[in-house]
Amino acid sequence: MTQKIFVAGEWRVGRGDAMVSRFPADGSLNAELNAAGLEDVEEAVEAADAAWRAPAWRDRLPHERAEVLYRVSDLIRSRLEELAALQTRDNGKPLAEARALVASAAGTARYFAAACETLEGELPTQRNADFMTLSQYEPLGVIAAITPWNSPIASEMQKVAPALAGGNAVVLKPAEATPLMALKLGELFEEAGLPKGLLSVLPGRGSVIGEALVRHPKVRKISFTGGTNTGRHLAHVAADKLIGTSLELGGKSPTIICEDADLEQAVKGVAYGIFSSAGQACIAGSRLFIHRSRYDEVMDRLEAIARGLRVGHPETPGVHLGPLINQGHRDSVAAYVDQAREQGGRIRCGGEIPTQGELAAGSFYPPTLIDGLAHDSAVCQEEIFGPVLVALPFDDEDELIGLANDNVYGLAAGIWTSDYRRALRLAGKLEAGTVWINTYKKFSISTPFGGYKESGLGREKGRQGIQAYMQQKSLYLGLDAAPMNWCD
C-alpha cells in the first residue's frame, strides 16, 4: 500500500517521484510512497497562509491554541510503544533511544503549550505625559521546517510546537530517509483537532521540494536542522528574501578529561557522548582531549568500554549501537577511518565494517577509537557523524583551549573535572553553545540550544523558543488630549 502524504489537511498520494523508506538494520521495506511534488508545495503553502490568518486560529485565545498541543502530547504518551517501534524502523535507533526521543517530543509539546498560555507582551514605557507604549508578539506567518534523519519526531516537534504555539502555520519537509515519523506527527496533530492547513508534511528531496518550499514567497521563516553546507545555502536563500532563519548545524564537539576527573564517571560519559545513537548526533562528543598524566589509563578504559558495547539489531533489548542510517553513510564513516589509518593514526578498536552474521545485512559500524593523529587532520576537524572518537593528549590549559577552539564548529563541549572553578573557567573560554560539566548529552527543553560559529544561528527551546517564531509590534498610545504643538 502506498503511504499517503499530508497536504493542506488532506491525505493523498504525493505528486512527486516514487520513494521508499527502508529499515536500516536489514534494508527491508518499511513503506513505499510518492514524494511531494511542486504542486503539493504550492498547495500546502497557500493553505498554510490562509490557515494562520483565519479567525479559527488567529483569534483563538492562547490557552485554546495550547489545548491542541496538550492533546498531541497526551496522544504521543498513550502511543509511546507504537511510535518508538516506528521510529526504530524509520531510522534504526535502538528501541530504548527511540522511546526516549518519543517521550521528549511529548514533553516539548507540553512545554510550548505552557509557554503559549503564559506568553506576555511588554510595557516598555510606563505612562508619561504624552504617551505610553506596548509591545505585543505576533505570528510570522508560514514557517518552513526542514529536518534531518537522526532524531525524527523530536527534532520535528522542536520546530512545529513553538511555531504553532506562536500562531503560525508550518510546512514540514522531513529528511528523505525518515518520512514516516513526520507523517505520523501530521496524523497526531490532525487527531488532536488542529485546523486544516496549519500543518502539512511534505516528504521529498531537499534540493527539489525543500528548495521550492524555502523559496516560496509566502514562507516567512526557515527553521532548519541539518548539515552546515545546506544551512549556509538556506541562509543565502533567506537573505535574498529578507526573512529569518533558525539554523541548527553540525558539530565536532570537544570533550575534555582533566587530571582530577572522576575517571569512572568520565570514561562512561565520554563513551555515551560519542557512541550512543551510533554517533549520529550533531552534539556527539567526537574529539577527546585527555590530560597527558591520565592519557594511557583513560584510553585503556575507553577501549575496554568500546569493545564491550553491543552492536546489533535495534529491536533487540540491550543493544547499544544500532545500524547507521544507510550504507552510503556507513561507507562515508568507514572512509574517514581508512584515511586515519593511512595517515598513521592508531585504530585502538573498531574500524572494520562487520561482514558476519546479522550485522552483514545492515549498515552497521562498530565503536571506533583512534589516536596518534595531528589535530589539523580531516578526521580531527570534520564531522564524521558516526561512532568514531579521536583522542589527543594535552599538557596545559592554554594549549587545551587553543586546540578545542581550533575548529569551524562550536555546537557543544564537555568538561570532566572535580574542580568547579576550573570547569567554569574552561567553560567560559570554550566557543560552544552548550557546555556540559561532569555530564554529557543531557537535555532540558527549558534550556536554549544552538551553535556558535558554523554550528548555527539562533536558539531553539527555552521560553524564548516561541518568540523565535514571532515578531514584535509596538504600539504608542497618545495620552495628551491637546493637538501637537508643532504648527499653528
Cell of 438: 561532569
Quote the least distance from Cβ 220 to ligand ADP, whole Å.
16
Binding characters for ligand ADP, 174-203, by CB under 6 A (x = yes): xxx---------------------------
- 3-state class of 131 per DSSP? strand
82 phi/psi in degrees, rounded to 5: -60, -40
Cα separation, 409 vs 282, whole angstroms: 10
User: 106 vs 214, which CB is nearer to ligand ADP?
Assistant: 214
Cα separation, 108 vs 151, whole angstroms: 14
Cα separation, 303 vs 297, whole angstroms: 10
Quote the least distance from Cβ 442 to ligand ADP, whole Å.
23
Cell of 277: 545513537
User: 238 vs 435, which CB is nearer to ligand ADP?
Assistant: 238
Q: Please choose, from the candidates 267, 254, 256, 255, the residue with its C-alpha nearest in 3D space to the C-alpha of residue 297.
A: 267
Q: What is the DSSP string of 73-115?
A: HHHHHHTHHHHHHHHHHHH---HHHHHHHHHHHHHHHHHHHHH
User: 105 vs 234, which CB is nearer to ligand ADP?
Assistant: 234
Residue with cell 582530577: 260
User: 90 vs 371, which CB is nearer to ligand ADP?
Assistant: 90
- When computed from its CA atoms, the radius of gyration of the chain, rounded to whole angstroms, is 24
Give the DSSP letter of residue 469.
G
User: Binding to ligand ADP by residue 425, rule CB under 6 A?
Assistant: no
Binding characters for ligand ADP, 385-424, by CB under 6 A (x = yes): ----------------------------------------
User: Binding to ligand ADP by residue 221, rule CB under 6 A?
Assistant: no
* Sole window of 88-96, 133-141, 169-177, 423-431 interacting with ligand ADP (rule: CB under 6 A): 169-177
Give the DSSP letter of residue 322.
-
Q: Of these, 94, 139, 197, 226, which contacts ligand ADP (CB under 6 A)?
A: 226
User: Binding to ligand ADP by residue 227, rule CB under 6 A?
Assistant: yes
- 3-state class of 189 per DSSP? helix
User: 195 vs 227, which CB is nearer to ligand ADP?
Assistant: 227
Binding characters for ligand ADP, 297-326, by CB under 6 A (x = yes): ------------------------------
Quote the least distance from Cβ 466 to ligand ADP, whole Å.
23
User: Binding to ligand ADP by residue 206, rule CB under 6 A?
Assistant: yes
Quote the least distance from Cβ 215 to ligand ADP, whole Å.
8
Q: Of these, 108, 158, 230, 255, which contacts ligand ADP (CB under 6 A)?
A: 230
Quote the least distance from Cβ 35 to ligand ADP, whole Å.
10
Residue with cell 527551546: 461
* Sole window of 223-231, 293-301, 338-346, 368-376 interacting with ligand ADP (rule: CB under 6 A): 223-231
User: 6 vs 295, which CB is nearer to ligand ADP?
Assistant: 6
Quote the least distance from Cβ 222 to ligand ADP, whole Å.
8
- First-to-last alpha carbon distance for the chain, in angstroms, is 78
* Sole window of 222-230, 264-272, 291-299, 342-350 interacting with ligand ADP (rule: CB under 6 A): 222-230
* Sole window of 108-116, 209-217, 262-270, 476-484 interacting with ligand ADP (rule: CB under 6 A): 209-217
Footprint (CB under 6 A) of ligand ADP, residues 99-158: 146-148
Greatest CA separation for the chain: 93
Sign of CA dihedral 30, 278, 149, 107: positive
- 3-state class of 247 per DSSP? strand
User: 150 vs 417, which CB is nearer to ligand ADP?
Assistant: 150
Would you mind telling me the total number of residues written for the chain in this entry? 488
Cα separation, 371 vs 303, whole angstroms: 11
CB 169 within 8 A of CB 197: yes
Cα separation, 131 vs 141, whole angstroms: 30
Question: How many residues make contact with ligand ADP (CB under 6 A)?
Answer: 16
User: Binding to ligand ADP by residue 173, rule CB under 6 A?
Assistant: yes
Q: Of these, 7, 170, 214, 288, which contacts ligand ADP (CB under 6 A)?
A: 214
233: exposed, middle or buried (Cβ count in 10 Å: 0-12, 13-18, 19+): middle
- Catalytic residue numbers? 248
User: 231 vs 350, which CB is nearer to ligand ADP?
Assistant: 231
User: Binding to ligand ADP by residue 241, rule CB under 6 A?
Assistant: no
Cα separation, 148 vs 145, whole angstroms: 10
Cα separation, 238 vs 220, whole angstroms: 9
Quote the least distance from Cβ 236 to ligand ADP, whole Å.
10
Residues within the interface to ligand ADP (CB under 6 A)? 146-148, 173-176, 206-207, 210-211, 214, 226-227, 230, 233
